[in-house]
Structure 1
Amino acid sequence: MAAPSVRKFVTIVDEVFHENGPPAATPHRRGAILAVIENPFAGRYVDEIAPFMTDLEPLGLAMAERLIEALGGAPERIEAYGKGAIVGAAGEVEHAALWHAPGGYAMREALGGAKAIVPSAKKVGAPGTRIDIPIAHKDASYVRSHFDAMEVGINDAPRANELVVVLAMTTGARIHNRAGGLAASAVEGKDGLR
């Protein structure tokens, strides 16, 4: 197959100063980058779709690098991540699953070898469909302070023959987190869990 045909990119950055508590000296930043691409399988059933994952790898890495730049340009400041995809109505949810490996490995590589599994969400939808991208700590899935989600969507995507692929990252824990659990400062980073 060929490189994915990109119609557009959308980048979103939130700066959260407080959630009804005292304002933080440094805001919690979370961001997402979305790419609207042509779905090469739209409108028909194709049995062998896995090779498209390889085609998506350069896009994943480019998106991860662009998102790190949007969040300040310092990979070491990124603490959590997530990914997802929305498939247009002429596709199937399995087409979104093709984003799992290229999206996840791209962020791990761009962040210098993050250990934890990258949480993910996928769905089929029409233009304007929104999706909650789950977010978790990049090195230890049990770090409860970093469990979060970021809702994203694009008003004119996905069209029936498109996919919207998404990467999300944050610079830290939820603002005012106080739900306990494994502290980020106690992460061993060996197995992606603790």
Structure 2
Amino acid sequence: MQEDESAALVGLRKVVLYREAVVTEGGTSPAHPAQQASVAAVMRNPWIGTSTSRDLSPETATIAPILARLLTGRLLDALGGVGSVEAFGKAAIVGSAGEIEHGGALIHTPYFGNLMREFLEGESIICFADTRADAGQTLVVPLWHKNHAATRSHYQTISTRVPDGPRADEIVVVAAASTGPRPHPRIGDRTTDPAVTVKSLESALS
């Protein structure tokens, strides 16, 4: 399917790409400088005016795979290919006339999540954020390692914002990724953590 046909099928109004790279942090350059990017698709909400008992799956099965391919394709173009991506996340912002569940229908099912994971060659569950908001609200999208979700160095966020979206009858769907960890990560990891319990810290907590 051509991209213009896909755009018409999902009611796509615009695609917004945001990209950033940290040059210095704390006055020094990171040992592993990373780029982050988010790609947001602004689309019509196909469920506006429908009942809260309405089954959302028919539209989900049609629309979500198109969004997964579109957004991950733009991410890979922005970040240098699948081999460069180390962390990922997803998000949805529902316009004021819609339900939070409408955003969930487009990012929380295998039709989006499984495909995004496959396109980005990841294994982890994809962390997420979703909300309902007026146009122009900033949403912070969490990211973590695409294969090792407990890897603390890759716990990070990227902010996304569409100045004129979502309109009341729209949804913004976001895929985001990073090519590396936070600048200067140094809080250890689960493989090096001491055993910490309330009992082990009793003197410090008393």
TM range, smaller chain: 0.7 to 0.9
What SS does the corresponding residue of 1:105 show, helix, strand or coil? helix
Unmatched 5+ residue regions in structure 1?
184-194
- Give the alignment of 1:10-25 within 5 angstroms: 10-24=16-30
Q: Which runs of 4+ in 1 moved over 6 A?
A: none
Pick from 141, 148, 151 the counterpart of residue 156 of structure 2: 148
User: Paired residue for 2:14, among 8, 16, 20?
Assistant: 8
| Residue equivalent to 2:85 | 78
Question: After superposition, what is the alpha-carbon deviation per residue over 1:26-51, rounded to whole angstroms, capped at 9, x for unaligned?
Answer: 63100000000000112332511122
Deviations 1:96-154 (A, max 9, x none): 10122333223212123x11000011110001111111101001111011011111111
Q: Mapping of 1:115-126 within 5 angstroms?
A: 115-126=123-134
Residue of structure 2 equivalent to 1:190: none
Aligned sequence identity (%): 36
CA RMSD of aligned residues (A): 1.7
Higher helix share: 2
| Partner of residue 66, structure 1 | 74
Give the TM-score of the pair, scaled to structure 2: 0.82
C-alpha offsets along residues 6-57 of structure 1, whole Å, 9 cap, x if unaligned? Answer: 0000001111122214113663100000000000112332511122221220
Structure 1 distance, partners of 2:119, 2:136, is: 29
Provide the residue aligned with 1:164 in structure 2: 172
How far off its partner does 1:182 sit? 4.3
* Larger of the two Rg values belongs to structure: 2
Number of positions where the alignment pairs a residue of Structure 1 with one of Structure 2:
180
Unaligned runs of 5+ in 2: 1-7, 192-206
Query: Quick one: which of 144, 158, 162 aligns to 1:136?
Result: 144
